[in-house]
Amino acid sequence: MILTHFAAVLFATLAPLARSQDAAIVYDSIHNATSIAGTWSSGSKAVVTGSGFANPANMTFTYPKTTGISYSFTDDGFYEIARYRFNGNGSEPTCITGVIGWVHGTYTLNSNGSISMVPLGDGFQQVQDPCAAVSNFVEAYNLTEYYAQWRIFQDPVAGPKLHLFQFDGSPLAPQFQVSPEPNMLPTTKLRNDTTEVLSRRSFDEDVATNGASSRWTAGVTALGMALIGAVSSLL
């Protein structure tokens, strides 16, 4: 994990530092459906950036009904990312980790077709792992990210579709345009961080603040039972 993060930061550091308005970006057949500006969301589009997802001031989330990712971009170089996912555990099918996170900052469309994203420093994520010593905690998340490629196609049914490829070439889930105008929180630093792990909350405290724990537990239970069933059928 540390090496992965280091590699992403290294790629972003080596990428050209000129912003999109300072370098001519050629919108060819894999980019020309529309501008990258706006708000994009994957799958059922339940995860969307903006005020309905995260509150950076008190580091809380409003949990979506389903998992997914959402990216927003402005024309003048700002971005915001919302993510909600489950991570499986092959050796322990019931130990499924839930991660929900938010970050924003500035981005550069590099002339080689890549994207560099540098956070403002107030991003955060909540990690819930029923098998860990600390089962539920909130921590700062401010990693520089580098995407080797991006493409926008015109889906005949759903409209513009954004494909992002991570620094190692692996694709993210395709995202569809929710709005041509970016749905984002203010593009300034919204909280000052002083420690790496800023708060740790119990499940009971999380229910009291936003009811998130029960929804996460239900999702993990359903996914865990499905994985156990799949493993049992192979025995």
DSSP string, 17-39: ---GGGS-----TTTTTS-S-EE
Q: What is the pLDDT of residues 91-137, one digit of tens each?
A: 888 888 999 999 999 999 998 889 999 999 999 999 998 888 888 99
Is the separation of the CB atoms in 216 and 62 below 8 Å? no
- The answer to whether 85 and 54 have CB atoms below 8 angstroms apart is no
* Mean pLDDT for the stretch of residues 39-44: 97
The CA distance from 183 to 28, in Å, is 26
Percent of the chain with pLDDT over 90: 55
Structural contact between residues 159 and 179, judged by C-beta atoms closer than 8 angstroms: no
Q: Does the pLDDT at position 7 exceed 70?
A: no
Instruction: Please say if the pLDDT value at position 181 is more than 90.
Output: yes
The pTM of the full predicted model, rounded to 2 decimals, is 0.73
CA-based nearest residue to 49, from 19, 88, 20, 78? 78
pLDDT of res. 88? 82
CA distance 215 to 182: 28
114, 91 contact by CB (below 8 A): no
Q: Which residue has the higher pLDDT, 94 or 197?
A: 94
In the predicted model, is pLDDT for residue 31 greater than 50? yes
